[in-house]
Chain A
């Protein structure tokens, strides 16, 4: 009975969250449909593929809207380390210097077309791409990096204040944001870490909580289409790769002898699978690498797919808008309905992916530290 009540309450909370998010979505789509007119002015033909990929990928500026043929975007800092003779050294400047790829600055150019699209390249004296230049180290604060820092700032703010609240309200019922976070923290502790890892779960809990909230907050922010959100953070392979590498590193460092024994000489396997050709050890070693690889790809693919679908629905408005304005407006209603549905689904996915990533990490830690029975 209590469980059922808890379940009902959770559904209620999720619904409230969903509606607040969809409201923002709905507002945004209205803006987008007006945007379609300006888009058709500035660009000759709408290319949904490029449109979607441009939004999913990282960018050197935070594009907000096109208005009367002008780009409205937030310029982001460019940090380059060049090893070529002409530009050797560190270069720091704002991306607005490139004028959306139209200008070269300080011997660098932001390519908008071709094989280096979206990348910064070095140019020679004649203003052409210097193909002979050594690899350009680009550690700019891009859209995804800014979103990353934003998510970390939000996390630090939330959890340091929650921590303070715990210190201040010792042994009292949680209050405010503390009572929002406590069920999630206890969920990670009691439903993810403890059953998967066993009695040593406390050691891994800080990491599991960090990745759970990082993925969850990033996913939810990714669903918000306006400025502080909208960047495809957890749908970026570099981000998921680092997360998976952390899980892999922690698993490998903490693995006990039993774990390695199972990989090199798995018990209960016929000897001819190990000698003369070590078939099973090879399979096991591949498995060790596959686990984090799958973690990386799962999160990346799920979130990117969500963004692509949502953007696909918006593209429909533009495609039909090119045929006739009426058809564009007509299809926008359908698009909005589908997008609302997709947003709800994506919100579920946002939580599920955070849960799955954390759970699988915990299971890997549990496997690596399991005692021999």
Chain B
């Protein structure tokens, strides 16, 4: 019977010590322990989530990078093409310009040469006429000094004219 009869002393000590231990453990053990466990679990979960997010971002960044590289490549191609076109245009323009310029120069030179030639020719003509006059003068001076021959010459001349 004593086995199932709770003793008053035991009830007293159990009630007292259990209440005390419950309160002490609640305040100084369970609350901080549970808080820390929860905090750690949250931290781990957050860390996993952020790792996942970082991974996604990396993938996104990589695809972005590729896109950027591709765009840059396209841009480069376009720029190169344009540059080539510009170069070609400049060259062809220059060629045309040079042709025109050369034509002008040649034209100028030609007209200059023509002028010079004409001037030279006029000069030569004048020289020749002057020289011929002088020669004629000298010949006339010499021939006219002898009457006989002069007469003879004039007669020949008249003869020639008559024949014509």
Contacts and interface: CB of A to CB of B under 8 A. Distances in A.
Interface of A: 53, 56-58, 79, 117-118, 137-142, 144-145, 148-149, 152, 155-156, 159-160, 162-163, 166-167, 170-171, 182, 185-186, 189, 202, 205-207, 209-210, 214, 236-239, 241-243, 246, 300, 304
B24 A156 contact: yes
B153 interface: no
B32 interface: yes
12 contacts: A53-B3, A58-B7, A138-B7, A155-B25, A159-B29, A166-B36, A167-B32, A171-B39, A185-B34, A236-B6, A238-B7, A239-B10
A152 B36 contact: no
B136 to A, nearest CB: 133
Given A160-B28, A167-B32, A202-B34, A145 B10 contact: yes
Contact of B28 (A53, A163, A182): A163
A244 B25 CA distance: 19
Given A56-B3, A160-B29, A237-B5, A145 B36 contact: no
B15 interface: yes
B34 to A, nearest CB: 6
Contact of A156 (B2, B18, B25): B25
A166 B32 CA distance: 8
Interface string B1-27: 011111111111111011011101110
Main secondary structure of the interface of B (DSSP, over half): helix
Contacts of A171: 39-40, 43
A210 B33 contact: no
Interface string B57-83: 000000000000000000000000000
B112 interface: no
A214 B15 CA distance: 13
Nearest to A145: B13
Given A148-B14, A170-B36, A207 B22 contact: yes
Contact of A205 (B14, B17, B34, B43): B34
Interface of B: 2-15, 17-18, 20-22, 24-26, 28-34, 36-37, 39-40, 43
B9 A142 contact: yes
A238 B25 contact: no
A366 to B, nearest CB: 18
Contact of A210 (B9, B21, B28): B21
Contacts of B12: 139
Which among A142, A238, A239, A300 has the highest number of chain B CB atoms within 10 Å? A238
Contacts of B26: 206-207, 210
A210 B22 contact: yes
B21 A238 contact: no
B46 to A, nearest CB: 11
Contacts of A167: 32, 36
Contacts of A160: 28-29
B29 A139 contact: no
A186 B37 contact: yes
B8 A138 contact: yes
